[in-house]
Amino acid sequence: MRAELDASNLALSTLAEIELNLKPMVASPPAEFEPPLERWTWQVEVTEPSEDLDMGGGLTLVEVIIRNEELDRETRFARMIRSSKPAAAWPD
């Protein structure tokens, strides 16, 4: 239960950082959290608005994926977010 709560908190915190423009709203490869959470990784998947998905109003589907390989746990949270500026490429 503790791992489930940790994963949920990490996912919600990461989504909040994206909404606050502290993290870019772009797809990203898996990355480790800083200690003491280095056992957990985060990844972002972004689905841009399209006519096929009928996501009008500039909303973008942002999904945060939190994983812990040791515990064999994966948690996904998604939210529709209005982009305040065009998405930039993920920095190298």
Would you tell me how many other CB atoms lie within 10 Å of the CB of residue 21? 10
| 20 Cα distance to chain centroid | 13
pTM of the model: 0.78
Mean pLDDT of 39-49: 91
Q: How is domain 2-82 classified at the architecture level of CATH?
A: 2-Layer Sandwich (3.30)
Mean pLDDT of 17-37: 93
Q: Domain limits of the chain?
A: 2-82
d(CA 9, CA 71) in angstroms, rounded, equals 16
Mean pLDDT of 2-11: 92
Residues 6+ apart with CB under 8 A from 19: 79, 81
8 Å CB contact between 20 and 12: no
Segment 54-79, tens digit of pLDDT: 555 778 899 999 999 999 999 999 99
Asked whether residue 91 carries a pLDDT value surpassing 60, the answer given is: no
Position 82 confidence tier, pLDDT thresholds 50, 70, 90:
confident
